[in-house]
Amino acid sequence: MNKQQAIKDMIEYIDKHYMKHKYTPSLRDIEAELGFSRQTALRYLQELDDQGVLKYDGKTIITQRIAQLTTDDTVRVPVVGSIPCGVPTSEEQTRGKYLSIPKSWVRSGKHYILKASGDSMIDAGIDDGDLVLVKMTKKAELGQIVAALDENNQSTLKRLVFDAKKERPVLHAENKRYKDICPQQIVIQGVAVKVIKDLL
């Protein structure tokens, strides 16, 4: 297969993937579908971005067809960093990065995106490397998955539950290998509303 045909097939696959899943494929997806390496796919995307044929920011691919479909139906949400799904640690801040997502996912309020790190929330469908859409709020209901700070200003992603023995809310891991986190004070930063997979 020559380069021109490979690029044509790649663009067609990207468009079809978006039509089916509502997000663009990863380099891994392109490799699996079309048979050429991720490095080759990356080089093609970067060349096409330089030529203005499509837009590629290292995550999302916007072909001409996708641009037509998403002009009025998407909103750019900031990717503010990563958050551990484990013992609370300092949050990594990422400035200036945005992701376009459907407006229907963010019907009201302010939202941001965090990259999950670790495996303590896998039973809730949140795996290491997933992107988590978070609605900004200082309040949460029991049972919701929250981005939270403890009294030492350390952040984590956990389910908010009530511990009857301790008689107070705790941060519950969705993996039996991990114990609940029981800080004296829980500061809610937001509530997780959606998990976005296979974008990185």
The amino acid sitting at 71 is T
- Give the dihedral of Cα atoms 48, 53, 58, 61; nearest 10 deg: -130
Domain ends where: 70, 92, 119?
70
- Asked if 57 and 85 sit in the same domain, the reply is no
Q: pLDDT tens digits, the chain, 200 residues: what are they?
A: 688 899 999 999 999 998 888 788 999 999 999 998 999 999 999 999 888 889 998 888 989 888 877 666 778 888 888 887 766 555 555 555 778 888 888 878 899 999 998 899 999 999 998 999 999 999 999 999 999 987 677 889 999 999 888 888 999 999 999 888 888 888 999 999 999 886 44
- Catalytic residue status for 108: no
Measured in whole angstroms, how far is the alpha carbon of residue 190 from the centre of its chain?
Answer: 15
- Asked if 144 and 56 sit in the same domain, the reply is no
- Asked if 14 and 111 sit in the same domain, the reply is no
- Give the dihedral of Cα atoms 95, 67, 103, 194; nearest 10 deg: -60
pLDDT recorded at residue 199 = 46
- Catalytic residue status for 120: yes
Domain ends where: 70, 91, 120?
70
- Asked if 78 and 138 sit in the same domain, the reply is yes
pLDDT recorded at residue 99 = 82
Structural domain span for residue 87: 74-196
The encoded tokens of residue 117 equal 């790190």
Measured in whole angstroms, how far is the alpha carbon of residue 149 from the centre of its chain?
Answer: 20
User: What's the Cα-to-Cα distance from 12 to each of 7, 19, 25, 42, 64, rounded to whole Å?
Assistant: 9, 11, 12, 16, 11
pLDDT recorded at residue 91 = 52
How many domains does the structure of the chain reveal?
Answer: 2
The span from the CA of 14 to the CA of 111, in Å, is 27
Which residue of the set 26, 82, 117, 158 is catalytic? 158
Which residue of the set 115, 120, 135, 155 is catalytic? 120
